[in-house]
Amino acid sequence: MSYYHRTYQIGLGGRLTPGVKYLLVANVIVYILQLVFRAPMLRLFGLSSFMVLHNLAIWQFVSYMFLHGGFFHIFFNMFVLWIFGSEVERAWGTKPFLKYYFITGIGAGICSFLFSLSMHTITIGASGAIYGVMLAFAMMYPDRIITLLLFLIIPISMKAKHLVTLMAVISIFSGITNLFGGSDGVAHFAHLGGMLVGYLYLKSDWRLTAAKEYLRRKLKMWQLKSEIHRIEHFQNLQRQVDQILDKINEVGYENLTEKEKKILEEASNFFTREGGKE
């Protein structure tokens, strides 16, 4: 993965990528089931700190991502997933994208859980993972221009990095407000958790990639130096052998010194070894 600094209008996500398609289908199917079995679905699969602590319902850290609070909740989440997720998946591939999606979603759930231990609330929705996907998009394409329709009428354009920063600031402010008595029914700390986990994951991944590249360059440099040393040794040995052969022609092998005989033996072993490599 790497940073890209391109600026142009974002389209409508383009053709559905496999991972995004799987997530869309799964969310829609679960939403339909949720309409039929509303209360049981919410109780069993929504993220509840009470259920996690008293019934060890750890599956809820995954299942809550597929439940939604209404048509517009799932519609906007899936729309944003299509827009940004398709772009990210095309750059990374399906498996890395899905891995990242679930890591950020679970991270968002853990963050929401920690901030709701004393509250009898249930967290649902893919928003935490979606925020993570948007962060990944902004880190890859920070200067790409995003055009939003404020109130579905007024177009507002800004760079991806500014949009994500604005969303983070709004989530922080709204989350703190909710902690001190406000309540807008939105899991703002889940949004922040998705972005935070996504940021840490991507930075560590890029650092790991950079470390691998550094080690690869070091290895190539070592191999190059080793090859240069081998060639220099070969040339030096060849010169010594030529001098010794000239001496043999003049005075005979029996008049060679022990050192010269050892050089010939070393040369014989070296040339045999090098010939075997080829």
Q: Find out whether 239 and 212 touch, Cβ atoms under 8 Å.
A: no
Comparing 84-98, 141-155, 185-199, which segment has the lowest mean pLDDT? 141-155
Which residue pairs, CB below 8 angstroms and at least 24 apart, start in 56-61?
Answer: 60/109, 61/106, 61/109, 61/110, 61/113
Domain positions in the chain are 18-213, 217-277
Q: Does position 1 have pLDDT exceeding 70, yes or no?
A: no
Please classify residue 73 by burial: count the beta carbons closer than 10 Å to its beta carbon, then call 0-12 exposed, 13-18 middle and 19+ buried.
middle
Q: Does position 12 have pLDDT exceeding 60, yes or no?
A: no
Per CATH, the number for 18-213 is 1.20.1540.10
pLDDT band at 13 (very low <50, low <70, confident <90, very high): low
Which DSSP symbol is given to 180? T
Q: What does the pLDDT look like over 167-198, one tens digit per residue? A: 888 877 777 766 666 565 567 778 888 999 99
Share of the chain above pLDDT 90, in %: 34
Give the pLDDT confidence score for residue 158 in this predicted structure: 79
Q: Does position 5 have pLDDT exceeding 50, yes or no?
A: no
Q: Does position 2 have pLDDT exceeding 50, yes or no?
A: no
Give the pLDDT confidence score for residue 129 in this predicted structure: 95
**Range of 103-107, 139-143, 150-154, 265-269 with top mean pLDDT:** 103-107
Comparing 8-12, 87-91, 160-164, which segment has the lowest mean pLDDT? 8-12
Q: Does position 9 have pLDDT exceeding 50, yes or no?
A: no
pLDDT band at 3 (very low <50, low <70, confident <90, very high): very low
Q: What does the pLDDT look like over 117-137, one tens digit per residue? A: 766 788 899 999 999 999 999
Q: What is the mean pLDDT of residues 19-25?
A: 96
- Planar angle of CA 25, 109, 26, nearest 5 degrees: 5
Q: What does the pLDDT look like over 207-239, one tens digit per residue? A: 556 656 767 777 778 777 777 777 777 788 788
Separation in Å, CA 21 to CA 48, 77, 79, 186: 28, 13, 12, 26
Q: Does position 274 have pLDDT exceeding 70, yes or no?
A: no
